[in-house]
Chains A and B, each alone.
Chain A
Amino acid sequence: MDKMPKWADVVLIPLISLILAAAISALVILAIGEDPIAAVKLMVDGALGSTYGWGYTLYYATNFLFTGLAVSVAFHARMFNIGGEGQAMLGGLGAALVCLYIPWPHWSIALIAAAAGAAIFGAAWAAIPAYLQAKRGSHIVITTIMFNFIAAAVLNYVLVNLLRPAGSMDPATARFPEATHLPSLHDILAPLGIAFNKAGPANVSFLVAIAACFAVWLLIWHTKLGFEIRAFGKSEQGALYAGISPVKITMIAMLISGGLAGMMATNNVMGEAERLVLNSTEGAGFIGIAVALMGRSHPFGVFLAAILFGFLYQGGAELALWTKIPREMIVVIQALVILFTGALDNMVRMPLEKIFVTLRKGKA
């Protein structure tokens, strides 16, 4: 019998972890001489109080949706893909090549092609660590960390030496042609009579991210492959006994994971910057880990967690603008969320389990 009801595991533990992280963050804000309540008000106003704020919140959330889903899929196969950052960088390269070198008639076709290009590049970057894990037993965490750094070097080389337009000093590609520019949420919502601020960078790829959530949910819980991935994640021995090939599942799960991380490029590279710059990922690959942990690797949980982190990012930018609290506050909050929901999970779980067991004994 389970020690705890399911709702406690899914809702209560993340909630308590979040409250702990928030409480410590509040103490930190107090310690640097600012008012935490005013800070929260400012964040809510800045991130959710206007469609301008929402435009940024949803833009960040789109990035985190892709990387969060990427980490989740790998988690289901009990693999820790810490390389979302590198895979997203390479995804950016894939999207940039598709947008720059093929003349597209319309943004919709360009989006499909760029998403495919980004996914292929991202998946390819995940393929080598996956193969080494599956065939040679090389620890995937270490190899994906190494591949993040290698990706940064590759991107640096490609941008400085190959893709930089002649005469430009900036290590970035040329701007993508007009036809590949994605419509923003303003453009999409205007015909429906909803006024949405023009300035926010949120764009149509937010809808792609939601579609990806749905696709991952279908894959993991409603296909044979998803069942195999989960079975492999629960017990490699059991999966082997059931005739599931560990090599195949490791490869496929990591390819999907890398592809999802790569597809982030449709948002940050194609949708927002409209060219590929150095460090376009801005750490979103690592935030994906926090998002996946927070969302308990379920697409709906990932969706909520991504919106939460989108809010934190936009709110944090507002804080940096109007108070003495620097942007790095968000990095601290993010670290605390990872710490409490990931590493210190048992610290919250053990006392809670005791409470539930005592409660149940009291009833019986």
Chain B
Amino acid sequence: MDFLTLIQVLDSTVRLSTPLLLACLAGLFSERAGIFDIGLEGKMLAAAFFSAAIAAVTGNVWLGLLAGVTASLVLSALHGLASITFRGNQLISGLAVTMLAQGFTVLVAQSWFKQGGRTPSLLAEGRFGPITFPFADSVAGVPFIGPIYSELLSGHSILVYVAFAAVPATWWILFRTRFGLRLRAVGENPAAVDTAGVSVVGLRFAAVMICGLLCGLAGAYLATSLQAGFVKDMTAGRGYIALAALIFAKWRPWHAMGACLLFGLLQAVALRFQNIELGGLTIPVQAMDALPYILTVVILAGFVGKAIPPKAGGEPYVKER
């Protein structure tokens, strides 16, 4: 593999990691506050559809983004209503949210655009264009550093940079602010937070809504940056890979970035090379598809360090009387 191919693979790794990273950080906020969310997939899907649909109709990608995020927030509110207000089963609620999105997006797409459950392809103004760094073109010819700067770092959509900036932001919010401390506490010991006079319900709703916001960005990125428009089931299990990355990272922001880059690299490699020859041994493409899930199971099994979820995760909080 020559240097240019490597740069190209890494470049597509960055692109493919972005939706995973946004969804993974979304899950991080929710699960750190004690609300399991297996509905990341559904929220991304809903956001992908509504961002593409509104961008296609108005021709304005920012309005599309707004619509996508709103759709994702609505589903988040539903998840919050079910799992916080009515203390229902969070896993069942997450599953229902995903199914709702899977059905609803195609239903509405068919009803609005009549193109077999897809949106029209987005033209340039309906998409987030690449942001070119200063001097990217002039340094492209410089050996080694040139391609890294102009191909790998420069020329992505704004949401890519937002996603990677969200990593330190998440770390700072969770570990350096009072809100973050309380948010983590509510995921470990909600009774203590309640005793301190802080609203458990309020904190958990805040976390779930942040989760909705980030999922909305992830979905909008899929439909308006990575691809041009919405197609049925376009998230293709990314929400679950993000969930896997979250566990792989043991619910920590920087590790989440590492896990998402790793899983993005696997996708990029699987996309570029079908079967890989490694010293006479052929690795089939399906093994690359399954690898994120297998790695997660191995981590969950605790053979390579133990993944311990937030203590109060999945448990509805009932105030003592």
Contacts and interface: CB of A to CB of B under 8 A. Distances in A.
B93 A343 contact: yes
A289 B92 contact: yes
B155 interface: no
Nearest to A153: B290
Contacts, number: 154
Contacts of A157: 284, 286-287
Interface in B85-113: 86-93, 95-100, 102-104, 106-108, 110-111
A335 B96 contact: yes
Given A289-B95, A293-B92, A146 B286 contact: no
Contact of B237 (A149, A289, A328): A149
A132 B237 CA distance: 23
Nearest to B105: A328
B145 interface: no
A273 interface: no
A145 B92 contact: no
Interface string B61-95: 00000000000000000100111001111111101
Contacts of B38: 82, 141, 145
B99 to A, nearest CB: 4
Interface string A135-152: 011110111011101100
Contact of A138 (B87, B108, B244, B297): B297
B296 interface: yes
Contact of B91 (A132, A141, A332): A141
Given A32-B111, A289-B92, A132 B301 contact: yes
A146 B92 contact: no
Given A328-B103, A329-B103, A343-B82, A153 B286 contact: yes
A332 B103 contact: yes
B309 to A, nearest CB: 7
Nearest to A29: B107
A329 B107 contact: yes
Given A149-B237, A161-B284, A332 B300 contact: no
Given A293-B92, A335-B96, A326 B286 contact: no
A343 B293 contact: no
Given A141-B91, A156-B286, 4 more contacts: A141-B38, A149-B240, A335-B96, A343-B92
A153 to B, nearest CB: 4
Nearest to A159: B286
Nearest to B81: A344
9 contacts: A136-B302, A139-B300, A150-B293, A157-B284, A160-B286, A289-B95, A331-B99, A338-B95, A342-B96
Contacts of B87: 346
A225 to B, nearest CB: 26
B223 to A, nearest CB: 18
- 10 smallest CB-CB distances across A and B, nearest first, come from A331-B103, A343-B93, A335-B99, A153-B290, A342-B92, A332-B103, A343-B82, A339-B96, A335-B100, A343-B88
A154 interface: yes
Interface of B: 38, 78, 81-83, 86-93, 95-100, 102-104, 106-108, 110-111, 117, 237, 240, 243-244, 247, 284, 286-287, 289-290, 293-294, 296-297, 300-302, 309
A338 B86 contact: no
Contacts of B98: 335
Nearest to A138: B300
A45 interface: no
B68 to A, nearest CB: 19
Contact of A145 (B104, B108, B110, B243): B243
A15 to B, nearest CB: 18
A202 interface: no
Contacts of B297: 128, 132, 138, 143, 146-147, 150
Contact of B107 (A137, A150, A326): A326
Contacts of B111: 31-33, 324
B102 A328 contact: yes
A347 interface: yes
A170 B286 CA distance: 17
Contacts of B107: 28, 32, 325-326, 328-329, 332
A82, A328, A333: residue with the most chain B Cβ atoms closer than 10 Å: A328
B78, B97, B247, B297: residue with the most chain A Cβ atoms closer than 10 Å: B297
A345 interface: yes
A45 to B, nearest CB: 22
A150 to B, nearest CB: 5
A332 B100 contact: yes
A346 B284 contact: no
A95 B35 CA distance: 39
B178 to A, nearest CB: 30
A344 B88 contact: yes
A31 B110 CA distance: 12
B96 A146 contact: no
B100 A138 contact: no
A142 B31 CA distance: 13
B198 to A, nearest CB: 24
A286 interface: yes
Contacts of B96: 335-336, 338-339, 342-343
Contacts of A160: 286
Contacts of B92: 80, 289, 293, 338, 342-343
A346 B88 contact: yes
Given A138-B300, A328-B117, A339 B100 contact: yes
A143 B86 contact: no
Interface in A116-146: 128, 132, 136-139, 141-143, 145-146
A103 B80 CA distance: 55
Interface in A156-185: 156-157, 160-161
Contacts of A328: 102-104, 106-107, 110, 117
Given A289-B95, A331-B99, A331-B103, A149 B290 contact: yes
A342 B89 contact: yes
Contact of A331 (B102, B108, B284): B102
